[in-house]
Amino acid sequence: MGVAALCTENLSKRYGRLLALDDLTLDVAPGEVFGFLGPNGAGKSTTIRLLLGLARPTSGRAWVFGGDAADVAAAHRRLAYVPADVALWPRMTGAEVLDLLGRIGPGVDTVYRDELVERFALDLAKPAGTYSTGNRQKVALVAAFATRAPLLVLDEPTSGLDPLMELEFRRAVAAARDNGQTVFLSSHQLAEVEAVCDRVGILSAGRLVEVASVAQLRRLHRTEVAATFTGAPPDLTGVPGVDGLHSNGAAAVRFTLNGPPAAALRALADAGVATIAVREPSLEEIFLAYYGQDAR
Amino acid sequence: MTAVAAPAASVTPAPAPGRALTALAVRQVRRGALTVTGICAGMSALVVSMYESQALDPAALAALARNPAIRTLFGEPVALGDPGGFAVWRTGVVLSVLLAVWSFLAATRITRGEEDAGRWGLLLSGRAALADAVRGHLGVVTVVPLVAGAATAAAMIAAGADVAGSVLHGTGLAAVGLFFVAAGGLAAQLFGDRSAANGAAAAVLVLGLLARMVGDGVPALSWVRWLSPFGLVALTRPFDTGRGLPLAVLVFAAAVLLALAVRLAARRDVGGSIVPAAGGRPARTALLGSVPAFAVRRTLRPLAGWAAGVGAYFLLIGLVARSMADFLAANPQFTAMAAQAGFTLGTVEGYAATLFALLAVPVGVFVAGRVGALAADEAARRLTLPLAAPVTRTRLLAADVAAATGAALVLVSVAGAAMWAGSALVGAGLGLGDALAGTWNVVPVVLLCLGAAVLALGWAPRAVAAAGAVPAVGGFLWLVVADSVGAPAWVGDVSPFAHLAAVPVTGPDWPAAAVMTGLAAAGVAAGLAGYRRRDLTT
Ligand SMILES: Nc1ncnc2c1ncn2[C@@H]1O[C@H](COP(=O)(O)OP(=O)(O)OP(=O)(O)O)[C@@H](O)[C@H]1O
Ligand SMILES: [Mg+2]
């Protein structure tokens, strides 16, 4: 694999006594859609500000496609950004904003931009001062996707979008991925992260507590299993990975499964399973577990 | 788990919304309020206490009082033989303009500015209605001119001026401030963004000043003064006949505007305006192609407003040039007296040179305001998207500094051309080249303002506009006080205005210009270093 699209090494940021970001070391591969999660105040936006050179790290470094992130004239030629709260000059119309951003930005695919404007149902003739939060966000999203930049850094880009627009957003991210673009997506919308991200990192109180693919994360966690049997249920006590065993009546059991399922499945198969329901935990449940940890 | 320990009785009774609003508004204006109060009271008292009776014979005084040019520029000289009267003539216009500018800026800043920034959404989701918030905030700002006026009167009395005159002058200052709080507050209801509201209030101020000048200078039009806040204050004639009626008119007008502002606030939405925001329009894509072009684009509109104001002022100055010069030539004792007060008058060129120095004040404030606008854009997070493009901070700042400098050169040229046009109309014989040389002569002071503003942008971004105005406004006030109280030369020399040569009477003071430009460059360099290092608000 070539050079990482995004790379940080021991990146830290201190605001007075608050360590907003603590020693972040992270690699995002080219072409990857990376979800960046964490509770409010975890340091996600801080990380992004450091990556964009908008804030200066207290220690550590960051690279964008191998170049120093602090060298914005070079680094920003390869990325586009959507901030968490989009502020625009109130008297400029949406079209003027897009024109400005397109011309000072890393380049623009005007055909794609027009298509995105259409898809996001954006009225470009109105002054930005009259836009709703969602419309301002759409302007920034259209501007970012239209650059076709190799790296898209998106900070809660859909917090103001309605469900229909959210769907358009997912389409645009999928198109970016198909193009080989890298996406770094900070979000609280877990369904969205689940739908578009290859890998997620979880930040908690400034520390990176987990980096894994969504599938891996699931595997690390308990799966709920409910089974009914044609005959008597097997005795699952002591089978590796099985926990919280319940029997529901004469011919049904419910338990949670941790780690590799092979042993439990063998035990079930030997007993003649009539039905089996395996429910993976939702991403939400997984994250609540993580987010809950730092509530301490 | 302390949160669940005390489920009951943990909701403290909220104070009345009015009280909370007042406290919020007070926090936002107190520092500026102290500054303007200190300047008004301090300057007035200083000039009173250092007053030395000028040996002027009554006939000469009468001639001075009649001269249209003197009246146009400095207001009608009233009671110059009295320490208080002299202080009013010497500082009255300057202080009333200062207080007026602060008043409308404060009014728009804490109402429309906060609303623009989206901070009122939260405030008004509570129990307070928009009209309450507007009334509460404007109410707090109105206290400031009252305090400044009272402090001025008290300070003048303490310095030995006549009580009745001091009280009338203090009341006049307060009334002007009150009027401009009301004007700013009303503009903030009418217009949907702060810069438009400020522009409207500034237009009222400039028109008021021009009306006062015309009314003072042209006897046939003296009634025009009844239409101007500054004219009304001049009509009160403190330390002389002392009339109260004009003040009553001014206070009444202020009250009407304030009431109107609150009424209009009740009729609009949070974030909305009475003058409807422009609807859809075709894109104007000129000057969007690069960072420098965009800097020019953002500068054009304010430049047009300032050019109109400065141009009108200098046109008027040009129109009275002849009469002024003739008068001074015929009354050499005034030339001497003016020299003592820091003016070198006597010829059209001398008169022009004196007034050109004044130009540094508005142009310096203009450039400080341009850098301040960049700081405001940053604070409002509007710079985040441009800075996420391949645009370095250096490039962004350089573009804005260059645009501001270019605009300042345009402004001084407009002033020079206007002065020339005015004096040409009355045949005063000021050459265009001389006029432009005179106005360009203030450029080093303007650059000092730019340097101070950029320095602040790098190291104290919340103080940009104030820091940038210090060389021009602070330096001007400093020299006025130093001259008026006869301070030793080195005290006055602290002010950059002390180092402006009387162009076009003499050539420019090149060494001083070089020093000021060097200081300005150092300020810009140090500011840029800070701007590159610090975190941006994004
Ligand atoms: N300029 C600043 N000065 C002081 N503290 C700051 C500053 N910016 C951020 N912080 C603090 O740093 C911490 C991390 O903030 P950050 O904005 O990165 O959180 P986040 O993960 O993006 O949260 P959210 O999900 O709410 O957007 C917070 O505690 C915040 O208060
Ligand atoms: Mg954030």
- Shortest Cα distance, chain A CAs vs residue B288, angstroms: 5
CA distance B17 to B124: 10
Stated as kind and residue range, the H or E segment containing B520 is: helix B510-533
Task: Out of A169, A193, A213, pick the residue that ends a domain.
Answer: A213
Residues A140, A270, single domain; the answer is no
Q: Please give the pLDDT value at position B7.
A: 45
Nearest residue (CA) to ligand 1, atom 26:
A40
Sheet holding A33-37, edge to edge: A79-82, A151-155, A182-186, A33-37, A199-204, A207-213
State yes or no: pLDDT of A280 exceeds 80: no
Per-residue pLDDT, B3: 42
The ligand whose atoms approach the alpha carbon of A21 most closely is 1
Q: What is the pLDDT of residues B73-94, one digit of tens each?
A: 677 778 877 889 888 988 898 8
Q: Using CA atoms, how far apart are residues B386 and B397, in angstroms rounded to an integer?
A: 12
CB–CB contacts below 8 A, A to B: 111
Whether residue A290 lies inside any domain: the answer is no
Residue with tokens 């050109």: B356
Contact (Cβ atoms closer than 8 angstroms) between residue B229 and residue B179: yes
The partner residue sitting opposite A105, judged by closest CB among B294, B381, B389, is B389
Dihedral sign from CA coordinates of B485, B488, B491, B493: positive
Residue B14 pLDDT exceeds 80: no
Of all protein residues, the one whose alpha carbon is nearest to atom 25 of ligand 1 is A40
Residues B107 and B28 sit within 8 Å (Cβ to Cβ):
no
Q: Pick from A213, A235, A258: which residue ends a domain? A: A213
Q: Are B21 and B136 contacting, i.e. CB atoms less than 8 angstroms apart?
A: yes
Closest-approach residue (CA) in chain B for A153? B388
**In a domain? residue A233:** yes
* B363 contact partners, CB below 8 Å, separation of at least 6: B306, B310, B408, B411, B412, B415, B442, B446, B449, B472
Residues A140 and A118 in one domain: yes
Q: Is B129 helix (H, G, I), strand (E, B) or coil?
A: coil
In a domain, A93, yes or no: yes
Encode pLDDT of B386-413 as tens digits.
999 999 999 999 999 999 999 999 999 9
A123, A255: one domain: no
A84 with A150, same domain: the answer is yes
Q: Do A104 and B283 touch (CB under 8 A)?
A: no
Distance in Å, alpha carbon of B432 to nearest chain A alpha carbon: 38
Do A147 and A68 lie in one domain? The reply is yes
**Domain CATH for A196:** 3.40.50.300
Q: Which residues pair with A201 in a beta bridge?
A: A36, A211
Q: Is residue A286 part of a domain?
A: no
The answer to whether residue A295 is domain-embedded is: no
Over chain B, what is the mean pLDDT?
88
Ligand 1 near A15 CB (within 6 A): yes
Which of A164, A194, A213 terminates a domain? The answer is: A213
Angle formed by the axes of helices B130-158 and B163-190, to 10°?
Answer: 160
- On whether both A37 and A144 belong to a single domain, the answer is yes
User: Quick check: A293 pLDDT over 80?
Assistant: no
Instruction: Find out whether the beta carbon of A121 lies less than 6 Å from any atom of ligand 1.
Output: no
| Pairing outcome for strands A6-15 and A18-28 | antiparallel
Determine, yes or no, domain membership for A111: yes
Of B290, B294, B389, the CB nearest to A106: B389
- Measured CA to CA, the distance from residue B56 to residue B336 in angstroms comes to 11
The string of pLDDT tens digits covering residues A2-54 is: 789 999 999 999 999 999 999 999 999 999 999 999 889 999 999 999 999 99
Interchain proximity B387–A52, CB inside 8 Å: yes
Q: State whether B386 and A86 contact (CB < 8 Å).
A: no
Whether A43 lines ligand 1, by a CB cut-off of 6 Å, is yes
| Pocket flag, ligand 1, residue A54 (CB < 6 Å) | no
Q: What percent of chain A has pLDDT over 90?
A: 61
pLDDT tens, residue by residue, B27-63: 989 999 999 999 999 999 988 888 765 555 666 666 6
Task: State which residues form the domain around A209.
Answer: 6-213
> Same domain for A68 and A47?
yes
The more confidently predicted of residues A88 and B69 is: A88
Across the interface, of B281, B294, B390, the residue whose CB is closest to A76 is B390
- The tokens of B538 are what? 């994004």
The answer to whether the Cβ–Cβ distance between A72 and B538 falls below 8 Å is no
Query: Residue A292: pLDDT band by 50, 70, 90 thresholds?
Result: low
B538 to chain A, any CB pair closer than 8 A? The answer is yes
**A127 φ, ψ (degrees, to nearest 5):** -65, 145
Label residue A273 by pLDDT band (50, 70, 90): confident
Mean pLDDT of chain A: 89
- Tell me which residue in B288, B380, B395 faces A100 most closely, judged by beta carbons: B288
Q: Is residue A184 part of a domain?
A: yes
Q: Does residue B532 sit at the A interface (CB-CB below 8 Å)?
A: no
Does residue A1 form part of some domain? no
Contacts of B388 in chain A (CB under 8 A): 52, 54, 76, 79-81, 83, 153
Per-residue pLDDT tens over the stretch A155-212: 999 998 999 999 999 999 999 999 999 999 999 888 888 889 999 999 989 999 889 8
Is the domain of A74 the same as that of A182?
yes
Higher pLDDT, A222 or B49: B49
How far is CA A64 from its chain centroid? 18
User: Does residue A170 sit in the same domain as residue A197?
Assistant: yes
Say if residue A123 is in the same domain as residue A87. yes
Are residues A96 and A208 both part of a single domain?
yes
Q: Are the Cβ atoms of A99 and B288 closer than 8 angstroms?
A: yes
8 Å CB contact between B327 and B432: no
Q: What would the mean pLDDT of A126-148 be, rounded to a whole number?
A: 94
**Would you say residue B532 has pLDDT above 90?**
yes
Number of structural domains (chain A) is 2
Asked whether residue A240 falls in the same domain as residue A170, the answer is no
